[in-house]
């Protein structure tokens, strides 16, 4: 029997009576240009059924070919998770009927995954770490998407009809499966969220996926079971499918712990099944009875050769695995001397990696930070895009900063240069030259403009001569206007004061 959704045990009572056991299966779509076994593009958001071919549609006579970039991405993920890379492995056919998998089987890996027996030391909110053991990471192809029309929930129940889009079918997918996670106790929901957060960061740092959970690039299936305190045998698990936000992973695990406990305390039994997660209220509901591996009738894929990465290649890829993002953040924070709050804001704004890349391109870190968190953040908000999606690179921002430092342009004109770059008009230096935006640095030309401004404002000139030097601001402003903002304001001020003293 299963409990009604409202029948939940208080969380403190759950922990007093039961020990949670978790298992997390995270699916990562790779950002390859083409699908895993054919040449179809993988662009997100394309018109339905426009990125398909006989291979990914499973038409008779079509033969798959392995995407080398997909294999490379899988190996790099495995190495980043401290896994052993399998020297020889086969693909398998996983047989089941889903309408959004046109072949009625999925090319996956079964008993010979590409990566095995790893771990990830996950940072928790209080600064401690929790080691999550990795069972395997294996390659497979994604399914298509179903759109259920006419119902109130968007699910098949109550829908009048369903539409199928096979564009996603065949996109390279890496499934990362943990070993049973025990010993987390009351922090189990936090550990689940922290693990998916850390895994997502690692994958993003590798550059093999855009990790956009809202687009399905990362999806988590959360397995939960409970066993009485002091017991050693795991309880029956449920699998909450396709949880697509970090917060929801934590909420789903906590909900299932409370639901399981209520069922068990009431004398019921847990059904091994999949569950749907409902974002609106954080609840789950029954899906289908969960199959076992035998139900999928795995057998070796006859149309694909085994994957046997050369050890030298694996070592070359190992050298490309970057420092863990949270370790890198700590090192950079210490180098920059910024507070935890400032660092958190930079991360939340999506600015940190952009700032680092700009500094790596030669800009001072404080200048890079100023541009990305101020003017460029403002531009991102105006155009309603993510900061990283602005059409300007860190190298271009570094070039703008260099132009300011060299006094080729001032800060005001530099913003115009950035605007031109965002409009797709070229590189910063070329824009300055083509549009004549270079700073007016000829003292003779500046003195001419200063004299004009003083002659046009004799009362202001008299105030300056009488010692009220703050009045020079009006003259400086007029000169800056006359030079289209291309003068050095500090130098103009010097020339104004010099002229008044001489006068």
DSSP 15-81: HHHEEEEEEEEEEEE---SB-SSS--B--TTPPTT-S--TTTTT-TT------HHHHHHHHHHHHHT
Residue 33 CB coordination number (10 Å): 11
- Cβ–Cβ under 8 Å, residues 213 and 247: no
Is pLDDT at 137 greater than 70 in this prediction? Answer: yes
Gyration radius of the chain's alpha carbons: 30
Q: Where are the alpha helices (DSSP H) in 87-224?
A: 188-206
Question: How far is the C-alpha of 37 from the C-alpha of 67, rounded, in Å?
Answer: 6
Q: Kindly report which listed range (6-10, 118-122, 311-315) carries the lowest average pLDDT score.
A: 6-10
- Pairing mode of beta strands 18-29, 84-85: unpaired
- pTM: predicted TM-score of the whole model, two decimal places: 0.82
The predicted model gives 261-279 an average pLDDT of 93
- Cβ–Cβ under 8 Å, residues 109 and 90: yes
What is the per-residue pLDDT for 500? 79
DSSP letter assigned to residue 487: B
Question: How far is the C-alpha of 63 from the C-alpha of 54, rounded, in Å?
Answer: 9
Q: Give the closest residue to 107 by CA, choosing from 83, 71, 143.
A: 143
Beta-bridge partner residues of 136:
116, 177
What is the per-residue pLDDT for 390? 94
Is pLDDT at 30 greater than 50 in this prediction? Answer: yes
- Pairing mode of beta strands 115-123, 129-141: antiparallel
State pLDDT tens for residues 144-195. 988 888 877 667 777 888 899 999 999 999 999 999 999 999 999 999 999 9
State pLDDT tens for residues 392-403. 999 999 999 999
Is the torsion defined by CA of 67, 56, 91, 216 positive or negative? Answer: positive
Q: Give the closest residue to 119 by CA, choosing from 71, 70, 176.
A: 176
């Amino acid at each position: 029997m299963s409990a009604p959704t409202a029948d939940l045990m208080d969380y403190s009572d759950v922990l007093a009576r039961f020990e949670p056991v978790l298992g997390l299966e995270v699916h990562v779509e790779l950002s390859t240009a083409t699908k895993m076994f054919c040449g179809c593009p993988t662009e997100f958001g394309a018109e339905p059924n426009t990125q398909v071919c006989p291979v990914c549609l499973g038409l008779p006579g079509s033969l798959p070919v392995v995407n080398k970039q997909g294999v490379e991405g899988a190996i790099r993920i495995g190495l980043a998770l401290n896994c052993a890379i399998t020297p020889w492995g086969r693909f398998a056919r996983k047989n089941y009927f889903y309408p959004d998998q046109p072949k009625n089987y999925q090319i996956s890996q079964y008993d010979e995954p590409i990566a095995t027996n790893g771990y990830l030391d996950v940072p928790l909110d209080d600064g401690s770490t929790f080691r999550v053991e990795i069972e395997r990471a294996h390659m497979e192809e994604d399914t298509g998407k179903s759109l259920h029309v006419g119902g109130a929930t968007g699910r098949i129940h109550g829908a009048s009809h369903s539409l199928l889009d096979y564009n996603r079918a065949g996109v390279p997918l890496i499934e990362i499966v943990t070993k049973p996670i025990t010993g987390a106790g009351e922090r189990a929901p936090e550990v689940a969220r922290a693990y998916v957060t850390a895994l997502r960061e690692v994958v993003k740092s590798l550059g093999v996926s855009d990790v956009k959970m809202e687009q399905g690039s990362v999806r988590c299936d959360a397995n939960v079971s409970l066993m009485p305190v002091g017991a050693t045998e795991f309880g029956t698990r449920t699998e909450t499918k396709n949880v697509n936000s970090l917060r929801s992973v934590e909420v789903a695990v906590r909900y299932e712990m409370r639901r399981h406990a209520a069922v068990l305390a009431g004398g019921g039994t847990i059904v091994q099944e999949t569950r749907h997660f409902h974002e609106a209220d954080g609840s789950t509901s029954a899906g289908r009875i969960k199959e076992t591996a035998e139900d999928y009738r795995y057998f070796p894929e006859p149309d694909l050769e085994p994957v046997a990465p050369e050890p030298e290649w694996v070592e070359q890829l190992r050298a490309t695995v970057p420092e863990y993002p949270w370790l890198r953040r700590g090192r950079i924070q210490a180098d920059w001397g910024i507070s935890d709050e400032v660092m958190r804001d930079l991360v939340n704004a999506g600015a940190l990696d952009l700032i680092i890349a700009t500094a790596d391109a030669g800009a001072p870190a404080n200048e890079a930070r100023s541009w990305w968190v101020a003017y460029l953040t403002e531009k991102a908000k105006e155009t309603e895009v993510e900061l990283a999606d602005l059409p300007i690179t860190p190298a271009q921002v570094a070039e703008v900063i260099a132009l300011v430092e060299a006094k080729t342009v001032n800060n005001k004109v530099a913003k115009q240069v950035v605007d031109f770059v965002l409009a797709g008009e070229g590189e910063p230096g070329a824009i300055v030259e083509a549009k004549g935006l270079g700073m007016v640095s000829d003292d003779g030309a500046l003195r001419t403009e200063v004299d004009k401004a003083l002659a046009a404002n004799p009362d202001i000139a008299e105030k300056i001569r009488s010692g009220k030097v703050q009045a020079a601001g009006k003259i400086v402003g007029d000169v800056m206007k006359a030079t289209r903002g291309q003068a050095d304001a500090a130098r103009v001020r010097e020339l104004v004061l010099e002229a008044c003293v001489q006068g």
